């Protein structure tokens, strides 16, 4: 298939998955209920393989094993990319996390028609949080988080941070103190400041729960689907 044919099928997007480390994805093995979609994160991605953190809950993890075909979903703005992949192997990361290894897909299907149950799994909250940040070289500062999700946040800074920069973050959610490692995945100017998107790299499960149980997240998740209730 030529380049023009690829553009016609996939718009301006590449037909392979342009996933980034720490990016949130949804996994499922078939189903259309909210409970069928399991949120997790990308561990790493290269030209041949995608490594995704195995679901943490034991009842979810047993579903995903070598040889199983999975659907992977991720967001790019208002569009959702969807592809099928076979779990090729299982690995253990240095920190003990179980990692699913899948081959890069040949094609990614893009759609703006995102079902409500899947939208809710990619919840992003507009917030106004004070965040202390530091990099390994000793540089540190304070920022404001303007958007928060289970996979990362957008920080408003007075300076740009280079994509790939490793950070340590400290902030509070509903009185719960959170410390996490993160990586800069995007940095864009916004007026006289910069919006810096970061993805969590390592976060304690209790901290993940603090975000997941945020009252506003609970309100969104509990909202009835159209035509139900």
Q: Are residues 10 and 110 in the same domain?
A: yes
The count of other CB atoms within 10 Å of the CB of residue 97 is 14
The mean pLDDT of 142-153, rounded to a whole number, is 84
| Closest-CA residue to 86 (of 27, 13, 26, 41) | 27
Instruction: Identify the CATH number of the domain in which residue 114 sits.
Output: 2.30.110.10
Mean pLDDT is lowest, of 48-52, 74-78, 91-95, for 74-78
In a domain, 228, yes or no: no
Q: Are residues 96 and 170 in the same domain?
A: no
H helices, E strands: number in the chain: 5, 13
Number of domains in the chain: 2
Does the structure show a pLDDT above 80 at 4?
no
What's the half-sphere exposure (Cβ side, CA atoms, 13 Å) at 24?
Answer: 24
Q: Are residues 28 and 73 in the same domain?
A: yes
Confidence of residue 213 (pLDDT cuts 50, 70, 90): low
Q: pTM for the full model? A: 0.54
Q: Are residues 102 and 205 in the same domain?
A: no
Beta-bridge partner residues of 51 = 44, 101
Three-class SS of residue 213? coil
> Which domain, by its residues, includes 20?
3-121
> What tokens were used for 61?
């993890």
Q: Are residues 34 and 85 in the same domain?
A: yes
């Amino acid at each position: 298939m030529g380049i023009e044919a690829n553009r016609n099928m996939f718009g301006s997007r590449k037909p392979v998955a342009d996933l980034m480390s720490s990016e949130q994805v949804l996994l499922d093995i078939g189903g259309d209920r909210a409970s069928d979609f399991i949120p997790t994160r990308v561990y790493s991605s290269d030209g041949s393989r995608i490594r995704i953190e195995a679901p943490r809950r034991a009842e979810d993890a047993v579903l995903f094993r070598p040889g199983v075909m999975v659907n992977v979903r991720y967001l790019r703005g208002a569009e959702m990319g969807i592809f099928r992949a076979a779990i090729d192997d299982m690995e253990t990361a240095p920190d003990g996390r179980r990692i699913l290894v899948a081959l890069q897909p040949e094609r990614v299907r893009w759609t703006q028609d995102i079902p409500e149950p899947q939208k809710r799994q990619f919840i992003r909250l507009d917030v106004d949080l004070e965040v202390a940040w530091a990099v390994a070289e000793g540089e540190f500062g304070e920022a404001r988080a303007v958007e928060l999700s289970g996979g990362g946040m957008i920080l408003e800074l007075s300076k740009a941070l280079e994509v790939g920069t490793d950070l340590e973050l400290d902030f509070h959610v509903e009185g719960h103190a959170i410390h996490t490692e993160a990586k800069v995945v995007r940095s864009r100017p916004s007026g006289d400041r910069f919006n810096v998107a970061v993805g969590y790299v390592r976060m304690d499960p209790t901290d993940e729960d603090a975000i997941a149980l945020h009252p506003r997240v609970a309100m969104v998740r509990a909202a009835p689907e159209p035509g139900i209730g």
